[in-house]
Amino acid sequence: MTTVAAKPENKARKKVRVRNVLIAIVILLVVLIDLYPLFFMYSASFKTNNEFVTNPAYAFNQSLHWQNYVDSWTRGNMGVFFTNSLLNTSVSLVFITLFSLTISFALIKMEWKGRKFFSQYFAFGIMVPVATTLIPLFVIYNNSGLYNTRLGLILVYIASAISFSVYLLSGYMRALPDEILEASVIDGCNIYTMMWHIVAPLMKNALITVVVIQFFFKWNDLLYSMTLISSSSLKTMQTGLLYFSDEFGSKNWGAIFASVSISVTPMLLMYLLLNKMVIEGMTAGAIKG
């Protein structure tokens, strides 16, 4: 009697176990698909050129050939590009946060005619593709002496970030209770102290979201820098990387992988350190939209 009853139960349990194993395999496969290319990149960045010739591409690196990084950083100019990108990105981030904070505050919390119009005016830019502005921008820059200058690139980085950042911050700004502002006025705040001591600290999380997403956009920029910059001492990471193999020789795989790794690593580090904030920041636009 007991054996008869136990049999189907065993079968069911076995079925569940087979299902769980299959699910685990699928999950593992997904993880592999996402991780393996990155692993391949780092591994290949330490290979000697000889390894690329004799071993298949999937083989692990047999040496720790740091020379690839040295080559790409110095002879390949990656050091220069990296510094340019970091400088342009950080300087524009300061102004992006400042401008989008003050603009969204003026649009949402302050009282004046025309703020409805200006809200729409600032929102318009979200839909504008970079490609559409590129030709006139090139003409403007050529005529004003901003072409091929760091200042020019930083200015357009700031300008192109305002729409989206104001849009994101406005959402958080609306949620900021008016009572807090009122209390601060009673305590003797004027508009500037209120902005600096009350609003800015309360908007900290929202501002971090803006910084994260704009850091990603600016670090990633290719169109502006390849159109508005011509001298290689001012080029940024992505432009440099794009033409790296043309200038450095397409057979020098080690150095190419090293430069790709150099470009990828800051983003990965930021992501690993600020995991939740990065995910929130990058998906904020879609969820709010």
Interaction with other proteins in 59-98: which residues (CB under 8 A)? Answer: none
Stretch of residues binding other proteins (CB under 8 A), selected from 10-18, 67-75, 202-210, 268-276:
268-276
Is residue 82 within 8 Å of residue 58, measured between CB atoms?
Answer: no
Tokens of 278: 């990065």
Q: How far is the CB of 121 from other proteins (least distance, A)?
A: 8
According to DSSP, residue 129 is labeled -
Q: DSSP of 50-68, one letter per residue? A: HHHHHS-TTSPPSS--THH
Q: Which of 1, 2, 5, 129 binds other proteins (CB under 8 A)?
A: 129
Q: Is 260 in the site for other proteins (CB under 8 A)?
A: yes
Task: Count interface residues toward other proteins (CB under 8 A).
Answer: 97
Looking at the Cβ atoms of 70 and 274, the one nearer to other proteins is 274
Is residue 285 within 8 Å of residue 214, measured between CB atoms?
Answer: no
Which parts of 132-161 interact with other proteins (CB under 8 A)? 132-140, 155-156, 158-160
Q: Is 48 in the site for other proteins (CB under 8 A)?
A: no
Q: Is 42 in the site for other proteins (CB under 8 A)?
A: no
**Residue 266 CB-density burial (10 A; 0-12 exposed, 13-18 middle, 19+ buried):** middle
Q: Is 21 in the site for other proteins (CB under 8 A)?
A: no
Q: Which helix (H) or strand (E) holds 73?
A: helix 67-73
Which parts of 226-245 interact with other proteins (CB under 8 A)? 227, 237-238, 241-242, 244-245
Q: Which amino acid is at 51?
A: E
Specify the residue for token string 């939740």. Answer: 276
Looking at the Cβ atoms of 54 and 233, the one nearer to other proteins is 54
Q: How far is the CB of 130 from other proteins (least distance, A)?
A: 7
Looking at the Cβ atoms of 64 and 279, the one nearer to other proteins is 279
Q: What are phi and psi of 44, to 5 degrees?
A: -70, -25
